[in-house]
Amino acid sequence: MSAAHGRTRGEYAKSSARRQAILEAAVEVFASAGFHRGSLRDVADRAGLSQAGVLHHFPSKPHLVAAVLTWRDDESRQRFVDDVPGGLETVRALVALIEYNQRKTPELVELYATLSAEATSSDHPVHEYFVRRYAWVVGYVQRAFESIAGSGELRADVDPAAAARWVVALMDGLQIQWLYDRDSVDMAAHVRTYIRSLLTVDL
Amino acid sequence: MSAAHGRTRGEYAKSSARRQAILEAAVEVFASAGFHRGSLRDVADRAGLSQAGVLHHFPSKPHLVAAVLTWRDDESRQRFVDDVPGGLETVRALVALIEYNQRKTPELVELYATLSAEATSSDHPVHEYFVRRYAWVVGYVQRAFESIAGSGELRADVDPAAAARWVVALMDGLQIQWLYDRDSVDMAAHVRTYIRSLLTVDL
């Protein structure tokens, strides 16, 4: 991009850093207050910007929350390899992701738990995002279990489609239990032990 | 209660019916709007009362939401027998309760999912209610599995404490999936099939 557009490379870097600061502030605000109670003013205050400064990057609250969710998805996706790997590698990566979220991004776990429950109302601004996301995640885990079954590593009495729903449900439900009692609940260990119980091999 | 207190039996019945109407209106309002966005004014409008009329029965919004949750707990408890039954009867009653909630009280399922996620923030008015409730529910299911293990009906490789967390997590997680896709997810059938997979006998 040339300086003829009125912005130097340094200005772009500054704008990008500011965008990132807003996203991080938004995670903290919406994780504790939820979508409805959290305000753009709170996000601006926390990011050290004016409300107009936030609106310059994200034209509305739904835009900002959607950007936070997409950002988290992109971050998570980077933790999976690009090619379709074997089913066991996929579920191993899933457990590693839970471990990472639990240790490094507890406020994102809280944001996700709150928004995914709030957004079950069909008029919620990110309802459609979650409808698509659940369909995608359950399908993704199901394909992993089908691949595991194909190599004879899934217990014969386990249905890949049901097991996929159970693993996703277990992850969501353990998230809630963990948020209430972080010392007693090790989400990643529970999911690993549970998935092991479905396999004929170690994980 | 004598009429000397200024209220006849008919007036008490009327007051009790009004209280019930407020609780039912509150379920609908808070299930779709969540605790923070739902207002006493919305509840009053839906119940056909003034806001003062609602405040006469419930002095604040947290009082009202706590009353809704307690009311739901009382209703649920009536569906369990009073004496401590065998472990298998307990988990059968749990599955029957999920079936009932799914068919008869979907708006309560939505309320519970939204509030339990929102209230993970330690400053939420019903945070302590949920901390206690999760500890109680997980303990209750754990005792049922211990009883089942005692009669040799739990698979030898299943840990009752872990299985209790998993069943409660599965219920919470399936609730979310069901709220996004009510036609594809049969919560009670999934929980029944899952619990069966932990047992050496049929359920």
Angle at A140 between CA A137 and CA A146, to 5 degrees: 140
Among candidates B134, B166, B185 on the partner chain, residue whose Cβ is nearest the Cβ of A180? B134
Task: Yes or no: say if A120 and B113 are a contact pair by the CB < 8 Å rule.
Answer: yes
Place of tokens 């999936």: B177
Structure tokens at B46: 């839906």
Place of tokens 């599955």: B95
Mean pLDDT for chain A?
Answer: 89
User: DSSP H helical segments within chain A, as ranges?
Assistant: 9-37, 40-47, 51-57, 61-77, 87-104, 106-118, 127-150, 160-180, 187-196
Q: Give every residue of chain B whose pLDDT is below 50, as ranges.
A: 1-3
Q: Tens of pLDDT along B109-130?
A: 888 898 899 889 888 888 999 9
- A1-65: which CATH number, 3.60.15.10, 3.90.79.10, 3.30.1280.10, 1.10.10.60? 1.10.10.60
Q: Tens of pLDDT along A171-187?
A: 999 999 999 999 999 99
Q: Tens of pLDDT along A94-114?
A: 999 999 989 988 888 888 898
CATH 1.10.357 fits B79-203, yes or no: yes
Whole-number Å distance between alpha carbons of B188 and B145: 18
Note the Cα A185 to chain centre separation in Å: 19
Domain boundaries, chain A: 1-65, 79-203
Chain A contact present for B114, CB below 8 A? yes
The C-alpha torsion from B199 through A151 and A85 to B167, rounded to 10°, is 0
Structure tokens at A138: 């359950």
Q: How confident is the model at residue A85 (pLDDT cuts 50, 70, 90)?
A: low
CA distance A14 to chain B (A): 33
Chain B contact present for A161, CB below 8 A? no
Q: How confident is the model at residue A6 (pLDDT cuts 50, 70, 90)?
A: low
Rounded to two decimals, the pTM is 0.85
Chain A contact present for B162, CB below 8 A? yes
Name the least confident of A2-16, A144-158, A184-198, B150-164.
A2-16
Among candidates B117, B131, B166 on the partner chain, residue whose Cβ is nearest the Cβ of A170? B166
> What is the reported pLDDT for A1?
46
Structure tokens at B101: 């909630």
DSSP code of residue A185 = -
> What is the reported pLDDT for B84?
56
Q: Interface pTM (ipTM) of the complex?
A: 0.84
Residue numbers in A near B193 (CB within 8 A): 162
Whole-number Å distance between alpha carbons of A147 and A92: 14
Q: How confident is the model at residue A116 (pLDDT cuts 50, 70, 90)?
A: very high
Read off φ and ψ for residue B154, nearest 5 degrees: -100, 140
Strand partners, A154: A199
> What is the reported pLDDT for A66?
86
Note the Cα B167 to chain centre separation in Å: 15
User: Which of the pair, A83 or A55, is modelled with greater confidence?
Assistant: A55
Task: Yes or no: say if B79 and B100 are a contact pair by the CB < 8 Å rule.
Answer: yes
